[in-house]
Amino acid sequence: MFSEINPQLISNLEKLGLTENEAKAYVGLVSLREATAREIHELTNVPRAKIYEILKVLAKKGFLEVRQGTPTHFRAVDPKQVIVKIKDELINCATETLDQLNELSYELPKVSPVWCIQSEWGIKNRIREILAGAKEELIIFSASPEYLQEFEAELQKMEKTCKLILIVDELEKFKSMPFKFKEVIKEFKDSINNIVIDGIQYSEELFIIADGKESIGVHSTGNKREAVVVRLPIVCHIQKMVYSKVFEPNIVKKDQ
């Protein structure tokens, strides 16, 4: 039965531009090698009323071949050729789209100094951009080893090019990492673990201040995570003042 076929395969084909039914029909035909529309329908549960139109679309895309007759038979094109075709089309489309976007040049009345990012990829990509742009000083507070581990290589390089201040909520959680850490005082640790706004509790996971001009704070509530980016020097200056007073004087050197 079709339910035994890996559903992730269908999901991946959807990400490559096929509809769910097109993906099911193509996967079913690959497994059958050659089949009639009725056989594909019975295997995949793609609605019988739609199966002929879906196979027609797949044929136009070059994913299958047709042998006319009574009944008509269909044969899947080699998956390797299909995926290469999709890949080439996606790369060409992405390149063309990027060129067109880069040609756009509108005069905006103003640029907002505060942005919110809600995707995990977007958060990590923005952190990487901020790290790459820092020239003089990076102040980083972390309550989650995940982010420091993600950017460990970049941070090790930055130790040699700018002033790096790493502040953590608990030294023990970060003992496996090769950095000097400062631990926050208990009052600050308690405060960041009990941030409640409009009845919603937030947990601060990461805060970065780059050159005193740009900052990003990553926080979570329940299973939702988001980041707030601020590019307002006066606000970043105040944030820097706060974080310069929240850690204990002791410094622990991690083994290299």
**Which ranges of 7-119 would DSSP assign to H, the alpha helix?**
7-15, 20-32, 37-44, 48-61, 79-103
Model confidence pLDDT, tens digit, residues 102-132:
888 666 555 678 889 989 899 999 999 999 9
Residues of the chain with CATH 1.10.10.10: 2-100
Give per-residue pLDDT as tens, 157-177: 988 899 999 999 989 989 899
User: What predicted TM-score, i.e. pTM, was given to this entire model?
Assistant: 0.66
Which class would CATH give 2-100?
mainly alpha
Phi and psi at 156, nearest 5°, equal -65, -40
Contact between 206 and 218 under an 8 Å Cβ cutoff? The reply is: yes
CATH 3.30.870.10 domain locations along the chain:
114-253
The domain covering 114-253 belongs, at the CATH homologous superfamily level, to Endonuclease Chain A (3.30.870.10)
